[in-house]
């Protein structure tokens, strides 16, 4: 069995240790998220915690396998690492490639669904709460038509407190009984365009992470395969050295050594 190149082995172990630390960090974030209080309606938060736990655990276990297998030059452990890396590469590419192909279509369908929502004052209470939070944080109002998307009931979260003229506009609204209300200033910028920008940014970051991890998984696959082939290759014995001296051996030396 041939031994591995020390520099190659140390590099492989070092990067696997980094990924093991990364997996522990992800697990730590999952634990912190799990300790945060949330009610039964926040099922998406619980799902996010589960995803972080699975991703962090798998990353840590695979990285430890790779580091241990390379350090001990264990063929079986490296084969297990190689199989997991192949499966990880396929899964990541299976997710990333269709996402990249359908990116524009998803953006278009999302905008069409958002445009179907107005008037927003007739939507569910949960959606109204979400819109109120977004409008207060991002300083916007409505989806794509501004305050008009709210119909006759523009919420207070649209109220503009900015001193910039371009950020605010004056509107006149009426109460539930049709009474005239005092003019108010609301945000000019619609939230829908900001939603689409954030969604496009999320797509870009997600695709970058997926393709980046896929490239690292493929690199790990190639490196582990190279180590497996090196370990399983037979050790080459040094060639025999024959003396080509023209002088015959001395009989006295032969007799003494006999």
Can you give the pLDDT of all 258 residues of the chain as single tens digits? 567 788 888 889 999 999 999 989 988 888 887 776 655 545 566 677 788 888 889 889 999 999 999 888 888 999 999 999 999 999 999 999 999 999 999 999 999 888 888 788 887 888 888 889 999 888 899 899 888 888 878 888 898 877 676 788 888 765 555 555 677 889 999 999 999 999 999 999 999 999 999 999 999 999 999 888 888 876 655 555 555 555 555 555 545 555
User: Where do we find the tokens 């630390």?
Assistant: 21
Of 46, 112, 67, the residue nearest 224 (C-alpha): 67
* pLDDT number for residue 240: 52
* pLDDT number for residue 41: 47
Global pTM value: 0.73
Q: Is the dihedral of CA 149, 152, 155, 158 positive or negative?
A: positive
Burial (0-12, 13-18, 19+ Cβ within 10 Å), 156:
exposed
Question: Buried (b) or exposed (e) across 121-142, using 16+ Cβ within 10 A?
Answer: eeeeeeebeebeebbeeebbbb
Domains of the chain, earliest start first: 6-106+204-232 (no CATH), 111-193 (1.10.1450)
The full 3-state SS of 189-226, as one line of letters, equals CCHHHHHHHHHHHHHHHHHHHHHHHHHHHHHHHHHHHH
* pLDDT number for residue 21: 93
User: 233: part of which helix (H) or strand (E)?
Assistant: none
**Tokens, residue 9:** 């082995």
Of 214, 195, 139, 194, the residue nearest 169 (C-alpha): 139
The CA distance from 29 to 25, in Å, is: 6
């Amino acid at each position: 069995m041939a031994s591995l190149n020390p520099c190659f082995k140390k590099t492989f172990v070092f990067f696997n240790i980094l990924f093991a630390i990364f997996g522990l960090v992800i697990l730590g974030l999952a634990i912190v998220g799990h300790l945060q209080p949330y009610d039964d309606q926040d099922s998406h938060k619980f799902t996010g915690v589960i995803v972080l736990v699975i991703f962090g655990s798998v990353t840590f276990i695979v990285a430890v396998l790779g580091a241990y297998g390379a350090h001990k030059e264990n063929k079986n452990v490296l084969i297990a690492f190689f199989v997991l890396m192949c499966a990880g590469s396929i899964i990541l590419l299976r997710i990333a490639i269709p996402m990249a192909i359908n990116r524009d279509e998803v953006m278009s369908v999302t905008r069409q669904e958002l445009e179907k929502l107005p008037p927003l004052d007739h939507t569910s209470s949960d959606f109204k709460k979400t819109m109120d939070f977004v409008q207060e944080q991002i300083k916007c109002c409505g989806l794509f038509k501004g305050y008009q998307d709210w119909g006759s009931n523009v919420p207070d979260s649209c109220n503009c407190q900015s001193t910039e003229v371009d950020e605010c506009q004056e509107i006149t609204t009426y109460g539930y009984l049709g009474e005239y209300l005092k003019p108010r200033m609301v945000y000019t910028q619609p939230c829908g365009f900001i939603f689409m920008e954030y969604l496009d940014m999320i797509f870009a970051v997600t695709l970058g992470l997926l393709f980046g991890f896929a490239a690292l998984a493929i690199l790990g696959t190639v490196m582990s395969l190279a180590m497996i082939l090196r370990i399983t290759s037979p050790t080459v014995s040094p060639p025999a050295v024959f003396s080509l001296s023209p002088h015959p051996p001395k009989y006295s030396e032969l007799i003494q050594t006999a």
